[in-house]
Structure 1
Amino acid sequence: METADLLERSYPGRRAELKRDIFRKALALFNEQGLEATTIEMIRAECDTSVGAIYHHFGNKEGLVAALFFTALDDQALLRDSYLAEAQTTEEGVHALVHSYVDWVDSQPDWARFQYHARFAVTKGPFKEELATRNKIRNQTLGQWLAEPGRRDELRAFPAELLPSLIIGQADSYCRAWLSGRVVASPKAYRELLAEAAWRSICDNSPAETQ
């Protein structure tokens, strides 16, 4: 899955061609120059369009950052939900969550790098309430999976808000190190080890079992 494919999935058709081009050029600039240093004028020059066209689609730079961030989250969730749909057991589901996270980062490093850099700006900025609303909708499938009969009993030892960190935390840490160049091997090379580690963090270290 390349960047162009992600944008074609998210914004298909000829009518969205300019929007896709703005996204593509803005993503590259934000990753190369940083969020603060990148200006609408720089993006306009790269796209060979007008400032008005960019404002028409996104309102302002904060709106463009948020739109990119939401696009990345939606695409990531799409892959996650497709993996989760194949899981029959809780263990398979945990593996699916880790595998989808790792596979998405491996296939979309530019989007993942932007996602990490932009997270604070979006969660603390003018689009934080929209993000919260989108997250509720985006995570409905995950919530339904966790609430299936018997599964909540398996995971009852852990607060619901802690589970994502237990499951994805180690993969997230390695992915960040890879994207920043601190490690060389792709996270996909360790997807099975990371999935097993996530499962052990739940099944081997249950507070109910260690008391």
Structure 2
Amino acid sequence: MAPHFSSVSVGMAATSSKSRARSRAKKREILRKALECFAVHGLEHTTIDMIRAETGVSVGSLYHHFGNKDAIASAVFIEGMRDFSQRALEYLDQVASSSGGATEKAERLIKALVYANVDWISANPNWAQFVFHHRRTVGKAGGASTLNRDVESFYGKLAAILGPYVEGGHIRNLPAPLYGSFISGPVHDYARHWLAGRYAVPIQDVREELAEGAWRALNVNDGVRS
């Protein structure tokens, strides 16, 4: 008996999904290897041949999947931002789905964003360095629209999670850009100095202090008042 059409469709869809997952994993591995090249040689001095040698992928394949070196660098930047965003949303989802009072959860949500920043930077120092210093490469390679869509999507999800706590009076109601300044600004400032070797104390060792500082700034019962 011939298989039912729906069974064939499901099988084809599953195969297609697996194929996309393999392609995604392959591209991600190429980007990680490219990042290693950029970290060792610097973006300016890295060549396509260096990336090819590191990844084991032909130059033709690199151009097919990504384009020129600037396009690869742009993809590395965007992938890093997506990797961080995924971690941040996972941390927030864990808090949002847990029990606790509104003020307690508001505090844990703000601190979770700090933890996500610190943990991602600690686990991916080369990626963090690259993201800190090479944003303009995204625009140069024509990736600005993709990055902007990603950022808008992330902040939309962030607003959906934090919004009720702002409206409920548990987190200070501020102009949107200030939230990033209070939450990630101090982390990124410390991280830049630490990654450059100017600060000896690892960023993980000041994780709680950075989280507490962010909460004190955004807690309606603490921090700086207008």
> 2:95·2:108 contact (CA, 8 Å) conserved in 1?
yes
For 2:161 and 2:201, locate their aligned partners in 1 and report how far apart those are by CA, in whole Å: 32
For residue 81 of structure 2, the aligned residue among 73, 79, 83 is 73
Structure 1 letter corresponding to 2:156: Q
Matches within 5 A, 1:103-142: 103-123=119-139, 125-142=141-158
For residue 184 of structure 2, the aligned residue among 131, 150, 168 is 168
Residue 123 of structure 1, CA deviation: 4.7
Report the equivalent of 1:7: none
For 2:167 and 2:50, locate their aligned partners in 1 and report how far apart those are by CA, in whole Å: 50
SS of residue in 2 equivalent to 1:162: helix
> 2:166·2:173 contact (CA, 8 Å) conserved in 1?
no
Matches within 5 A, 1:5-84: 12-13=21-22, 15=23, 18-84=26-92
Structure 2 letter corresponding to 1:121: T
| Alpha carbons of structure 1 residues 161 and 56: separation in structure 2 relative to 1, 3 Å | same
Residue 76 of structure 1, CA deviation: 0.8
| Alpha carbons of structure 1 residues 38 and 90: separation in structure 2 relative to 1, 3 Å | same
Residue 105 of structure 1, CA deviation: 0.8
What do you get for the CA RMSD once the two structures are aligned?
2.3
Alignment deviations for residues 18-70 of structure 1 (CA, whole Å, 9 cap, x no partner): 53443232111111221122121221233343211100110221221121111
TM-score, L = length of structure 1 = 0.82
| Alpha carbons of structure 1 residues 91 and 124: separation in structure 2 relative to 1, 3 Å | farther
- Percent identity over paired residues: 38
Residue 186 of structure 1, CA deviation: 1.7
For 1:136 and 1:17, locate their aligned partners in 2 and report how far apart those are by CA, in whole Å: 24
Q: Do structure 1's residue 207 and structure 2's residue 216 form an aligned pair?
A: no
TM-score, L = length of structure 2 = 0.77
Q: Bigger shift: 56-65 or 154-163?
A: 154-163
SS of residue in 2 equivalent to 1:70: helix
Q: How many residues align?
A: 197
For residue 143 of structure 1, the aligned residue among 153, 159, 162 is 159
Alignment deviations for residues 70-96 of structure 1 (CA, whole Å, 9 cap, x no partner): 111111111111111233522111101
Q: Identify unmatched segments of 5+ residues in structure 2.
A: 1-19, 97-104
SS of residue in 2 equivalent to 1:49: coil
